[in-house]
């Protein structure tokens, strides 16, 4: 998958002062064969995105939108702060008053655990809206990268590629699943999809006894056409990803949660976690 940031049009973008200075580079992590195929292996995490794509500052209680042409197949959206909390809404707009996919994001520390997702953009003209729902004192930086096929070629979605190489787990409506990860895992991939029915779910990153470091509330009107995909940073120890299908029992979803990157020097053949476990509500 090739990402083309040059095609981005950020509406209302001001002068170069709107762009934030990049934070110092952090350790480079190795991909877990990441896994398994070229489409996923070429996927960028949040830090790589901020190093390569234009960045715009979104002040507290401010909305920014990004429009693009119909040739764009999907977009990668990343949000972070300079270390402060982050609360934001990310929406896909398709035509007047049509929001087929919505995300509400909370990060305890928007630098150590930035937000990174891929949103599929089929069928016509689409826009991405990013609203900083935090106070004026908590600005966020955002970047968007676009994926469009080269002439005469087709691109493979990392969501489809990961789904083809992984065994998904069925999550019934109202059910909760948890997935612990070893301290060596630096980030994990999460994919949620349905058979075409609407999808309502919550994804949480926990560290310690019910300590929520990251929370994502999501809605998609068609979980097959527009599945949820995120790269979640998991620094430190005791990380657990918890999935909650907040819909009723008539709306099950399938989930994939796998390690994406690991810390340097760790044996990739060692135990990494990622086996989903049933937890009663």
Helix (H) or strand (E) segment spanning residue 161: helix 158-165
Helix (H) or strand (E) segment spanning residue 162: helix 158-165
Residue in 33, 58, 226 with CA at minimum distance from that of residue 132: 58
Q: According to the model, what pLDDT value does residue 162 have? A: 82
Give per-10-residue mean pLDDT for the chain (281 aa). 40 33 38 56 81 90 92 92 96 90 97 95 89 95 84 71 84 94 92 97 92 97 96 93 96 94 70 67 55
Rounded CA separation 247/23 (Å): 39
pTM confidence score:
0.84
Q: What is the pLDDT of residue 8?
A: 41
Q: Where are the chain's structural domains?
A: 3-279
- In the numeric block, which tokens belong to residue 33? 């064969």
Question: Could you say which DSSP state residue 139 is in?
Answer: -
> What is the distance between the alpha carbons of residues 28 and 186, in angstroms, rounded to a whole number?
10
Q: Express each pLDDT in 209-262 by its tens digit.
A: 879 999 999 999 999 999 999 999 999 999 999 999 999 999 999 999 988 888
């Amino acid at each position: 998958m090739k990402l083309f940031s040059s095609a981005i049009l950020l509406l209302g973008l001001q002068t170069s002062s709107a762009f934030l200075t990049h934070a110092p580079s952090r350790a480079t992590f190795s991909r877990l064969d990441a896994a398994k195929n070229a489409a996923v292996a070429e996927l960028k995490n949040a830090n790589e995105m901020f190093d390569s794509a234009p960045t715009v500052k979104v002040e507290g209680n401010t909305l920014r939108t990004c429009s693009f042409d119909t040739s764009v197949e999907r977009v990668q959206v990343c949000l972070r702060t300079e270390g402060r909390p982050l609360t934001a809404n990310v929406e896909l707009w398709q035509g007047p008053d049509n929001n087929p996919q919505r995300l509400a994001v909370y990060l305890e520390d928007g630098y150590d655990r930035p937000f990174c997702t891929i949103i599929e953009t089929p069928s016509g003209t689409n826009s991405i809206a990013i609203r900083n729902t935090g106070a004026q004192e908590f600005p966020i930086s955002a970047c968007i990268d676009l994926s469009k096929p080269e002439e005469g070629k087709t691109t493979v979605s990392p969501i489809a590629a990961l789904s083809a190489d992984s065994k998904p787990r069925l999550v019934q409506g109202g059910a909760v699943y948890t997935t612990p990860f070893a301290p060596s895992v630096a980030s994990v991939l999460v994919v949620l999809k349905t058979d075409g029915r609407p999808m309502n779910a919550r994804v949480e990153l926990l560290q310690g006894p019910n300590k929520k470091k990251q929370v994502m509330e999501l809605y998609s009107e068609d979980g097959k056409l527009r599945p949820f995909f995120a790269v979640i940073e998991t620094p430190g120890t005791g990380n657990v990803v918890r999935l909650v299908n907040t819909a009723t029992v008539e709306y099950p979803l399938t989930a994939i949660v796998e390690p994406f990157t690991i810390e340097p020097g760790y044996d990739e053949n060692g135990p990494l976690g990622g086996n989903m476990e049933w937890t009663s509500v």
